[in-house]
């Protein structure tokens, strides 16, 4: 039985024309197995396919507003997308170079790298409050178990107290 990565590797191209996908993890996953990616030149498309990592099809503004955050929707330029598909079919050597660049790039954008960056940001935020991750975990566990409230960070004032900038 083929797994998801095996199935992605069998594809000639992965197309994501959604513009509200955020980062677009399915495209990154396809790039990681050497499948050519096409996305709109909008939202996360340039992040995924820019810098020679994929194909970017133009997007068009249909002049309507979507229901999510009242954002202006964009649709893919279908004719341009078809032109790009034709180009990819006629230029297998350039497609191979694109997919190799993408594969190398997504190797640097792994979940482990993202998790490390998140942990570093959390540690920086805790350090700015005079805490370590272990101390914060201990305080959180005590609070969740109904223990005493955690001590205030150094220099914090009770709610409603004047701050140095409001004096």
Task: Read off the pLDDT of residues 49-93 as tens digits, 9 standing for 90 and up.
Answer: 899 999 999 988 776 556 566 666 778 899 999 999 999 999 999
Tokens coding 104: 């190398």
Compute the mean pLDDT over every residue in the chain, rounded to the nearest whole number. 82
User: CB 147: neighbour CB atoms within 10 A?
Assistant: 11
Q: Where are the beta strands (DSSP E) in the chain?
A: 13-16, 36-40, 55-57, 59-60, 75-76
H or E element in which residue 31 lies = helix 25-32
Block residue for tokens 């140095």: 164
CA dist 87 and 81 (Å) reads 10
C-alpha R_g of the chain: 24
Residue with the bigger pLDDT between 51 and 148: it is 51
Residue 97 confidence (pLDDT) above 60: yes
Residue 65 in 3-state DSSP?
strand
- pTM (two decimals): 0.62
**Percent of residues, the chain, with pLDDT higher than 90:** 34
Position 159 confidence tier, pLDDT thresholds 50, 70, 90:
low
**Which of the two residues, 127 and 18, has the higher pLDDT score?**
127
Distance of CA 57 to the CA centre of its chain: 19
């Amino acid at each position: 039985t083929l797994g998801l990565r095996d199935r992605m590797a069998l594809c000639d191209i992965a197309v994501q024309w959604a513009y509200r996908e955020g980062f677009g993890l399915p495209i990154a996953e396809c790039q990681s197995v050497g499948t050519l990616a096409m996305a709109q030149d909008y939202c996360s498309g340039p992040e995924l396919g820019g810098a020679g990592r994929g194909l970017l099809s133009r997007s068009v503004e249909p002049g309507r507003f979507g229901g999510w955050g009242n954002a202006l929707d964009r649709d893919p330029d279908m004719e341009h997308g078809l032109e790009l598909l034709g180009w990819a079919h006629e230029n297998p050597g350039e497609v191979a170079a694109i997919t190799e660049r993408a594969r190398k790039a997504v190797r640097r954008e792994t979940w482990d790298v993202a998790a490390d960056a998140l942990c570093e940001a959390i540690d920086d935020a805790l350090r700015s409050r005079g805490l370590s991750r272990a101390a914060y975990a201990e305080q959180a566990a005590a609070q969740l178990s109904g223990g005493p409230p955690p001590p205030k960070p150094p220099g914090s004032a009770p709610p409603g107290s004047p701050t140095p900038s409001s004096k």
